[in-house]
């Protein structure tokens, strides 16, 4: 046992307590709320002041050590998990009332959160695979929780099939690392001295294996099947944080295990990210099932994260460390932002489903009057995911654009030709995202009710509103004060790349965010907010002064 391992044991204990109390399901959720809040605060403290903590116990089985480890990278992802789990656990206090076997659901729900932590702290390949399998099986049981529905069983089968296909490629990648290092411990894989050919196959198998869990194109087929049938609070966790465990391992692979990689490794990740982003949002745009639309949107946002990650790999391989840190900042910031706004949107969709018992947007309408607070939260989540200021999605996507534009610094013809195309694809993705969520707002919330369920809908319970409200506030705070989040994210980036990116992107007392020392672009989120408020007040004053006309109301499509 190594120094600091008490932190690890405390972490596991905090997330284990709700499991033991799950027969008293409401008490277990109260404990989960407290546990996730404590872990979130501990993670922030660790990022700012901690170093590394580890626990390792040898066994009689060759190469097998029971190893757990927390560094800045895993602490950041634990913070993302605990932040979303805190809000979702509060939301679940009301939402769980719709289930018959509440104690079983509570047990699976709490165990799933613990499994996420185990994945993020496991530091031996064998122990990691066990944790990964536990996470996959628990999420499978949650997807098919309402197993009497035939669609749930079919979707669950496809999900477990795809997740095990991904696991097979992960094992192949781990085998390559084991053959070339003679160890299953991740610490022995740091800066592994292996041939470029071995690195390529380890890179490719890891990308396929973890990419399947992340939902990259064309391995995304389970996403639009599993998310719509899973309980909405589970969908929020699966989309918001479970698929990010794959991003966590890709970052660790490409920046700690496979150092000194060729530039075209990053180019491959860029290409897959651009295609995943564009195809994901195009598929989302044509959906009428609200949760299926959100599932395809998860594929889009994973693509945006991979654009940042691929850019960072590309800059690192071509000796631009500051730009590599900037691009990784964009990727990790979007990891956190996506957890917030996608968690919020899935909880909002769950609230509508809770009251209308249908996922078909065509049967909604007029919900802004029946469910005003839920509608407000969905509107803010839609603005955030559409990357509009002053909310959080704008900042991380702006950083991603800057990373792609700054690739012109790389004197490689392939990069100069194709990366501007990828930037254009990201711009088109943004347009489709805005159109998709305008449709969500217009069809679901505005107009007149188009079904009896919508006409009879009422606002959800207080705990559901609080859970969504917390995520809404965080979407706003992260958008207006992004440099506070950048300060946290800069810690794992410094550990990986050796660049304190926070000192390169902030100006004038944290009021302006800049695209590093190259000064390609600068934004002031607080300034944008003030400008928006002034503009809104001006429009309101004009309407009050000159807009005193008689208001006439008509049914949709009614002839005047």
Q: How far apart are CA 219 and CA 204, in angstroms?
A: 14
pLDDT reading at 331 higher than 90: yes
Helix 263-285 to helix 413-439 angle, to the nearest 10 degrees? Answer: 20
> How confident is the model over 122-158, as pLDDT tens digits?
988 999 999 999 999 999 999 888 777 777 888 888 8
Q: Which range (46-50, 211-215, 367-371, 511-515) has the least confidence?
A: 511-515
Q: What is the pLDDT of residue 185?
A: 87
pLDDT reading at 4 higher than 60: no
- Going by pLDDT thresholds of 50, 70 and 90, the confidence category of residue 249 is very high
> How confident is the model over 99-122, as pLDDT tens digits?
888 889 999 999 999 999 999 999
Encoding tokens for residue 68?
């757990």
Strands (DSSP E) contained in 447-536 are 506-507, 512-514, 522-523
Domain of residue 402 covers: 262-546
> How confident is the model over 64-86, as pLDDT tens digits?
788 888 889 999 999 999 999 99
Q: What is the pLDDT of residue 16?
A: 87
pLDDT reading at 261 higher than 90: no
Confirm whether 70 is domain-assigned: no
Element (H, E) at 70: strand 65-70
Share of the chain above pLDDT 70, in %: 95
Q: Are 285 and 432 in contact (CB under 8 A)?
A: yes
Q: What is the pLDDT of residue 1?
A: 41
Q: Are 515 and 522 in contact (CB under 8 A)?
A: yes
Q: What is the pLDDT of residue 558?
A: 52
User: What's the start-to-end Cα distance of the chain, in Å?
Assistant: 79
Backbone angles phi, psi at 239, to 5 degrees: -75, -40
Mean pLDDT value across residues 303-319: 93
Confirm whether 99 is domain-assigned: no
Q: What is the pLDDT of residue 400?
A: 92
Confirm whether 10 is domain-assigned: no
> How confident is the model over 203-225, as pLDDT tens digits?
999 999 999 998 888 888 888 88
pTM (two decimals): 0.91
Confirm whether 128 is domain-assigned: no
Q: What is the pLDDT of residue 553?
A: 65
More confident residue, 308 or 545: 308
Encoding tokens for residue 489?
């994210």
Q: What is the pLDDT of residue 343?
A: 93
Look at the block and give the residue holding tokens 């990010």. 244
Q: How far apart are CA 150 and CA 226, in angstroms?
A: 13
Q: What is the pLDDT of residue 532?
A: 79
Mean pLDDT value across residues 281-309: 91
Domain count for the chain, please give it.
Answer: 1
Q: Are 206 and 173 in contact (CB under 8 A)?
A: yes
Burial 230-248 (b: 16+ CB within 10 A, else e): bbbbbbbbbbbbbbbbbbb
> How confident is the model over 418-466, as pLDDT tens digits?
988 999 999 999 999 999 999 889 888 887 888 887 888 888 889 999 9
Confirm whether 427 is domain-assigned: yes
Confirm whether 83 is domain-assigned: no
Residues 6+ apart with CB under 8 A from 380: 344, 391, 472, 475, 476
Confirm whether 72 is domain-assigned: no
Encoding tokens for residue 265?
């490794």
Q: In whole numbers, what is the pLDDT of the chain averaged over residues?
A: 87
Confirm whether 513 is domain-assigned: yes
More confident residue, 172 or 12: 172
Q: Are 419 and 407 in contact (CB under 8 A)?
A: yes
Residues 6+ apart with CB under 8 A from 472: 344, 376, 377, 380, 381
Q: How far apart are CA 294 and CA 555, in angstroms?
A: 30
């Amino acid at each position: 046992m190594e120094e600091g391992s008490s932190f690890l044991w405390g972490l596991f204990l905090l997330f284990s307590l709700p499991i033991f109390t799950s027969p008293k399901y409401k008490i277990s959720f109260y404990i989960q709320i407290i546990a996730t809040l404590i872990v979130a605060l501990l993670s922030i403290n660790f990022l700012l002041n901690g170093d590394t903590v580890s626990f390792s116990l040898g066994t009689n089985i060759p190469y097998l050590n029971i190893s757990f480890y927390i560094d800045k990278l895993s602490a950041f992802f634990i913070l993302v998990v605990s932040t979303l789990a805190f809000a979702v656990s509060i939301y679940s206090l009301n939402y769980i009332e719709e289930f018959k076997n509440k104690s079983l659901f509570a047990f699976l729900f709490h165990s799933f959160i613990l499994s996420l932590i185990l994945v993020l702290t496991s530091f031996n390949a064998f122990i990691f695979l066990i944790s990964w399998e536990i996470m996959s099986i628990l999420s499978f049981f949650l997807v098919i929780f309402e197993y009497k529905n035939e669609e749930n069983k079919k979707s669950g089968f496809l999900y477990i099939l795809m997740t095990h296909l991904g696991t097979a490629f992960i094992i192949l990648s781990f085998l390559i690392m084991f053959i070339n290092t003679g160890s299953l411990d991740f610490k022995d894989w740091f800066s592994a001295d292996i041939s470029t050919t071995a690195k390529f196959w380890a890179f490719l198998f890891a990308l396929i294996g973890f990419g399947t869990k992340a939902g990259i194109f064309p391995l995304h087929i389970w996403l639009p099947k599993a998310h719509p049938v899973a309980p909405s609070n589970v969908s929020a966790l699966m989309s918001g944080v479970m698929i990010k465990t794959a991003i966590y391992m890709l970052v660790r692979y490409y920046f700690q295990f496979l150092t000194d990689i060729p530039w075209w490794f990053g180019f491959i990740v860029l290409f897959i990210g651009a295609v995943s982003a564009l195809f994901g949002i195009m598929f989302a745009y044509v959906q009428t099932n609200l949760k299926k639309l959100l599932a395809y949107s998860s594929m889009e946002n994973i693509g945006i994260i991979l654009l940042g990650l691929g850019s960072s790999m590309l800059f690192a391989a071509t000796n631009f460390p500051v730009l590599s840190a900037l691009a990784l900042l964009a990727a990790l910031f979007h990891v956190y932002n996506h957890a917030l706004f996608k968690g919020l949107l899935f909880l909002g969709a769950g609230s509508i489903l809770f009251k209308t018992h249908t996922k078909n947007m065509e049967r909604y309408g007029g919900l802004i009057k029946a469910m005003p607070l839920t509608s407000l939260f969905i509107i803010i989540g839609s603005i955030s995911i559409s990357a509009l200021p002053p909310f959080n999605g704008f900042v991380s996507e702006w950083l991603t654009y800057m990373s792609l534009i700054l690739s012109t610094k790389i004197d490689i013809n392939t990069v100069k030709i194709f990366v501007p195309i990828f930037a254009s694809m990201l711009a088109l993705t943004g347009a489709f995202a805005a159109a998709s969520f305008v449709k969500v707002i217009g069809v679901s919330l505005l107009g007149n009710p188009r079904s009896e369920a919508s006409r009879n809908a009422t606002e959800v319970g207080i705990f559901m509103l609080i859970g969504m409200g917390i995520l809404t506030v965080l979407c706003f705070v992260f958008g207006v004060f992004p440099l506070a989040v950048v300060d946290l994210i800069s810690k794992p980036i410094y550990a990986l790349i050796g660049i304190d990116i926070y000192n390169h992107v902030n100006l004038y007392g944290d009021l302006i965010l800049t695209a590093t020392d190259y000064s390609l672009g600068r934004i002031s989120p607080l300034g944008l907010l003030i400008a928006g408020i002034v503009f809104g007040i001006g429009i309101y004053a004009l309407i009050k002064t000159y807009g005193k006309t008689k208001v006439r109301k008509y049914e949709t499509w009614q002839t005047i």
